[in-house]
Amino acid sequence: MPPFCDVALPVPVDSLFTYRVPDSMQPIVGGRVLVPFRQQRLSGIVIKLHDCVPNLEPKDLLQVLDTEPLLDEQLLKLGTWIADYYLAPLGDVFRTMLPLSAEFKRSIVYRITDQGQTALHLAGMSGSSARSRSTPQDQLAEFRVLEYLTARDSVRVETLRNAARASHSVLAKMIRKRWISREDVSGRRKAARVVKIAVLKQIEAKLNANQKQIIEALVASEGKLRLEQFNALRLSRSSLNTLVRRRQVEMVEEPAEFTVSQSKPRPLPSSFQFNAAQRATLEKIREHVDVAAFSGLLLHGVTGSGKTAVYLAAMRTVLDAGRSAILLVPEIGLTPAVAADLHQAFGEQVAILHSALTDRERAEQWHRIKRGDARLVVGTRSAVFAPVSNLALVVVDEEQDASYKQEETPRYHARDVAVMRAKMANAVVVLGSATPSLESYFNAKKHKYTLLELPDRVERRPLPEVEMVDMRLEFQDTGHEQVVSRKLAQEIRQRLDRKEQVMVLLNRRGYSPLVLCRTCGKTLECKNCAIALTLHKRSHRMECHYCGFMAPIPKNCVHCGSDYVYFLGTGSEKLEELLHGMFSQARIARLDRDTVRGREDFERVLNALNAGELDILVGTQMIAKGHDIHGVTLVGVVGADAALGFPDFRAAERTFQLLTQVAGRAGRGDIPGKVVLQTYFPDHYAVQYAARHDFIGFYEKELRFRSWMRYPPYSALANVLVRSDDLDKALSWSGILAKWFDKTTHEGIRVLGPAAAPILRLKRDYRYHFVLKSASREKLNALLRAMLAQAAQQKIPRTQLIVDVDAIWLM
Ligand SMILES: [Zn+2]
Ligand SMILES: [Zn+2]
């Protein structure tokens, strides 16, 4: 065994760390070791074993954690590529690739016991825990602990202490009384969540009002209710406990499956029902997969053309051949309904990696995949790192989606990593979209990818007709600023009369996005960001959409005290209210980040729409993505073109994509759809081409613009951002870098800046940036590397200097 090993640690430093290997230990490349680092113990990945004596006296390894490599040669190579390409510390990259942090956290959980349940019940009856020697404060804390635990299965100690405001001594005392139990679950592999379900056993005549309510709720839901639903229905917990003790209700535990959802799996279209274009596409993918060499395919299919069915059929082929496949979906795309479909299609062979998983569940899924128990992986961004072996196919659905780019270190783009991974594995990568990114379409045109097309909707359904409403004329005609134009109102009324459904997009949440003082002309800004606060009427507060800061609704101007405070503009919350006023009979729901807290909320609203229980769905871009609701025949677009005013070269592309996606929600059933597109920019080419469903037209026009301005795909681009909560530091650091860029020769690279970032202050940090463009990615990478070295020499902290390669936001 060589005496030294190099370890990648998850710290913001661009180097590896060398440790001595004690005789008793046998670390392996690609496996984890525990090492001392400053005052902590960290786990890192062994990159190399060697016998070069380091300059500094190395410390000893503390422990070898794996006897088998966690990262095989290909994933190690992929990680190294990411660290190099995105200029990220290798240890940070591996931490992102391996969702195993939960295996090292010491984890203590508490549960309520039967005695505890009884004590809680008695306390509820007498108002105090009877004959206890505890002080009144302690009694209250005990009560809170019991109440918190009775609603949950097991609770981590930190959570419990915060939620119930209980000290360690209170918890210790409760353990001695056997009201609660304590368990160390550190390093436990199996810790599946369970849900508690109340099951109705028998109904007795003598019930008080609370108990009656519970029984009625149970009867209404076919005798079964999850405990969390009790909370939502505000039913009395102590009455439930009484019913449990009288054996009228029984509490059972079931594994908390992500697929426990109200939606039944929808019948999957089998490839027998494919139309000719779908069949041809599937055949092409299969041919490429059979060659077992790298190839990239771009599947450009209009909205509603049946791309998903093709992906699933291709994955089935791969599975039958004994190989593996990964399907990446955008963050919003992986609903419980989709998971139910996948489970139905592939059973235990599929691992679904979604954001609702706990760390521990994520680790569990990771091991399942690593063992080869699941050979198909479906998930968001980080699923691209799934440790499958014998990879044959990677599919990236909606490849243009911004959620594939990670907005923290390492700032990788999962689509581009997917392409690289497929290359390393001699596999096929399929990028699919109705609105491919300029980069991908450009690559297809340059024959780097094979272009596959699904030009028609399934069952020859037509794309919706788009009617534009020029909101400037609407203002002239009506004399005031309209939110819902007369045309859109009339079309909505028609749909309501015909019992058809409507979606209305307004890509801005909240009630009013701006508070303006008519006396001094100032707006109300976030304390931490140079961003106006948005009024949220229902939650009764002002909110910053960037950092989450909240403030009370002002009655007077905070600057001059004047009471001429006006709330301007319209967000989705106000639009919903307006529509309620205009169509009082209509059943209206809203879908945005304020109404949707989890995937289940999201799914509940979509199910209601699907079942015809809603007439109008209002929402932000959340409503635009991939849903297949057949009853929607009208889509109204209200102010989706605001982004065209942003100082960002991708603004036109983003607007075109959003308009096309949301238009694609109309007319997916038997009745043809229509789109009413309200715009203040009717002449803008992004709006015009979207209205004509003309991707090629848009693409060619936009490419010409990118070519003139030397923007991607004609150059590689990086955004270098300097940030500090101290304005002087932010200025001086960007000055240091500016000077360095000035005196460094960097032929073939344009450096723009430093300039104040479009959002000068964000989350308390002042921000200045440089934009670097070059036709040569190698040169750009080398310059950035040199800049990082210079910054380190000048003692600019690595965490205050963000290098974003292939940045998709320049804000
Ligand atoms: Zn004022
Ligand atoms: Zn803020």
pLDDT digits (tens, 9 = 90+) for 82-95: 999 999 999 999 99
Ligand lying closest to the C-alpha of residue 761:
2
Return residues with CB closer than 5 A to ligand 1 (ion).
517, 519-520, 557, 559-560, 562
For helices 695-709 and 651-663, the axis angle rounded to 10 degrees is 170
Ligand nearest to C-alpha 560: 1
> Model confidence at 186, in pLDDT bands (50, 70, 90)?
low
Q: Which residues on neighbouring strands pair with residue 616, listed in sequence order?
A: 502, 588
Neighbours of 104 (CB within 10 A): 15
**pLDDT for the residue 258:** 44
Distance 747 CA to ligand 1 centre (A): 51
Looking up tokens 């783009």, which residue turns up? 413
CA 532–ligand 1 middle distance (angstroms)? 14
Residue 643 has pLDDT above 90, yes or no: no
Taking CA atoms, 36 is separated from 33, 58, 95, in Å, by 10, 10, 17
Centroid of ligand 2 to alpha carbon of 573 (angstroms): 20
Ligand that lies nearest to the alpha carbon of residue 519, given by its number in the listed order? 1
Is the pLDDT at 11 greater than 70? The verdict is yes
- The DSSP secondary structure of 632-680, one letter per residue, reads EEEEEE-S--GGGGSS-TTHHHHHHHHHHHHHTTSS-SSSPPEEEEEES
For residue 539, how many other CB atoms are within 10 A of its CB?
Answer: 13
Residue type, 597: R
How far is the centre of ligand 1, averaged over its atoms, from the C-alpha of 557 (Å)?
4
> Residue holding tokens 């990118």?
706
Centre of ligand 2 to C-alpha 543, Å, is 8
* pLDDT, position 516: 92
Sheet containing 801-805: order of strands = 749-762, 765-774, 716-724, 801-805
pLDDT value, residue 390: 95
Instruction: Please give the angle made by the CA atoms of 506, 507 and 509, to the nearest 5 degrees.
Output: 90
Residue 471 has pLDDT above 90, yes or no: yes
Contacts of 357 (CB under 8 A, 6+ apart): 258, 365
Both structure tokens of 462: 């037509």
Model pLDDT for residues 21-51, shown as the tens digit of each residue: 999 999 999 999 999 998 778 889 999 999 9
Sheet holding 376-379, edge to edge: 350-353, 376-379, 324-328, 391-397, 428-433, 295-301, 450-454
Ligand index nearest the alpha carbon of residue 524: 1
The position carrying tokens 């079309």 is: 491
569 CA distance to ligand 1 centroid (A)?
18
Confidence of residue 730 (pLDDT cuts 50, 70, 90): very high
Tell me, in angstroms, the distance from the centre of ligand 1 to residue 518's CA. Answer: 7
- Cα(513) to ligand 1 centroid in Å equals 17
Give the angle 423-429-432 at the CA atoms, nearest 5°. 150
Q: In this structure, what token pair is assigned to residue 580? A: 């309620």
Instruction: Name which residue leads in pLDDT, 130 or 313.
Output: 313
Cα 314 to chain centroid, rounded = 26
Please state the rounded mean pLDDT for residues 718-730: 96
Q: Does the predicted model carry a pTM greater than 0.85?
A: no
Residue 357 is predicted with a pLDDT of 80
Report how far ligand 2's centroid is from the alpha carbon of 566 (Å): 20
Report pLDDT for 261. 41
Ligand nearest to the CA of 565: 1
Phi-psi region of 127 (alpha: psi -120 to 50; beta: other; left: phi over 0): left
Cα-Cα-Cα-Cα dihedral sign, residues 224, 227, 233, 234: positive
**Per-residue 3-state assignment (H helix, E strand, C coil) for 91-108:** HHHHHHHCCCHHHCCCCE
**Range of lowest pLDDT (76-90, 352-366, 407-421, 741-755):** 352-366
CA of 762 to the centre of ligand 2 (A): 6
Q: Is omega for the bond preceding 713 within 30 degrees of 0, making it cis?
A: yes
- Encode pLDDT of 92-103 as tens digits: 999 999 988 755
Between these two residues, 784 and 309, which has the higher pLDDT value? 784
Residue 778 pLDDT grade (very low, low, confident, very high; cuts 50, 70, 90): very high
d(CA 278, CA 252): 46
Q: Tell me: the pLDDT tens digits for 537-579?
A: 998 999 999 888 888 999 999 899 999 999 999 999 999 999 9
Distance from the alpha carbon of residue 764 to the mean position of ligand 1, in angstroms: 23
Distance 354 CA to ligand 2 centre (A): 28
Number of the ligand closest to the Cα of 518: 1
d(CA 471, CA 679): 6
What's the Cα-to-Cα distance from 20 to each of 13, 33, 39, 401, rounded to whole Å?
20, 12, 18, 45
Nearest ligand by distance to the CA of 762: 2
For residue 675, how many other CB atoms are within 10 A of its CB? 27
Distance 516 CA to ligand 1 centre (A): 8
What does the pLDDT average to over 505-513?
Answer: 94
Smallest CA-to-CA distance from 97 within 66, 74, 126 is with 74
| DSSP 3-state of 439 | helix
Ligand closest to CA 525: 2
The Cα–Cα gap between 340 and 174 comes to 41
| Whole-number Å distance between alpha carbons of 311 and 428 | 12
Ligand 1 centroid distance, CA of 553 (Å):
14
Q: What per-residue confidence (pLDDT) applies to 369?
A: 94
Cα separation, 3 vs 439, whole angstroms = 47
Closest ligand, as measured to the CA of 566: 1
Cα–chain center distance at 384? 15
Return the pLDDT at 268.
60
What CA–CA distances, in Å, run from 43 to 21, 320, 569, 606, 735? 15, 38, 51, 43, 37
Q: Report the candidate in 707, 571, 557, 738 with the shortest Cα–Cα distance to residue 638.
A: 571
Nearest ligand to the CA of 530 is 2
Three-state SS annotation for 777-790: HHHHHHHHHHHHHH
Q: Among all ligands shown, which has an atom nearest to the Cα of 564?
A: 1
Lowest mean pLDDT: which of 117-121, 259-263, 786-790? 259-263
Banded pLDDT at 137 (limits 50, 70, 90): confident
Q: How far is the CA of 723 from the centre of ligand 2 (A)?
A: 15
**In angstroms, what is the span from residue 549 Cα to ligand 1's centroid?**
21
What angle, rounded to 10 degrees, do the helices at 209-220 and 237-245 form?
Answer: 80
- Rounded to the nearest angstrom, the distance between the alpha carbon of 567 and the centre of ligand 2 is 18
Average of per-residue pLDDT across 242-266: 66
- Distance of CA 601 from the midpoint of ligand 2 (Å): 26
Judged by its nearest atom, the ligand closest to the C-alpha of residue 559 is: 1
Strand pairing partners for 60?
20
Burial string for 169-188 (b: 16+ CB within 10 Å, else e) reads ebbebbeeeebbbeeebeee
Q: How far is the CA of 517 from the centre of ligand 1 (A)?
A: 5
- The ligand whose atoms approach the alpha carbon of 542 most closely is 2
For residue 562, the ligand closest to its alpha carbon is: 1
* Residue 168 to residues 106, 128, 139, 151, Cα–Cα distance (Å): 16, 21, 14, 21
Q: Ligand 1 mean position to 673 CA, how many Å?
A: 47
pLDDT at 230: 75
What was the pLDDT predicted at 259? 39
For the CA of 522, the nearest ligand: 1
User: 304 phi and psi, to 5 degrees?
Assistant: 85, 15
User: pLDDT band at residue 191, thresholds of 50, 70 and 90?
Assistant: very low
Distance 17 CA to ligand 2 centre (A): 38
Q: Assess contact for 137 and 87: CB atoms under 8 A.
A: no
Q: What mean pLDDT is predicted for residues 368-383? A: 93
For residue range 153-162, list pLDDT tens digits in order.
Answer: 788 887 888 7
Closest ligand (CA of 523): 1
* pLDDT above 60: residue 128: no
Separation of 556 CA from ligand 2 center, angstroms?
20
What is the signed CA dihedral for 593, 598, 600, 602, rounded to 10 degrees? 20
Residue 260: predicted pLDDT: 36
Q: What percent of the chain has pLDDT over 90?
A: 60
- Ion ligand 2: residue ranges with CB closer than 5 A: 526, 528-529, 544, 546-547, 549
Rounded distance from Cα 565 to ligand 1 centre (Å):
8
C-alpha span between 349 and 320 (Å, rounded): 11
Instruction: Reply yes or no on whether the pLDDT at 466 is more than 70.
Output: yes
Share the mean pLDDT of the chain: 88
Residue-wise pLDDT for 748-775, tens only, equals 999 999 999 999 999 889 999 999 999 9
Helices and strands in the chain: count of H runs, count of E runs: 24, 33
What is the band of 148 on the pLDDT scale with cuts at 50, 70, 90? confident
CA of 360 to the centre of ligand 2 (A): 32
Closest ligand to the CA of 544: 2
pLDDT of residue 130: 43
Element (DSSP H or E) covering residue 182: strand 180-184
Q: What does the pLDDT average to over 404-421? A: 96
pLDDT at 676 over 80: yes
- Residue where the block lists tokens 């016991």: 113
Q: Compute, in angstroms, the gap from residue 526 CA to the centroid of ligand 2.
A: 5
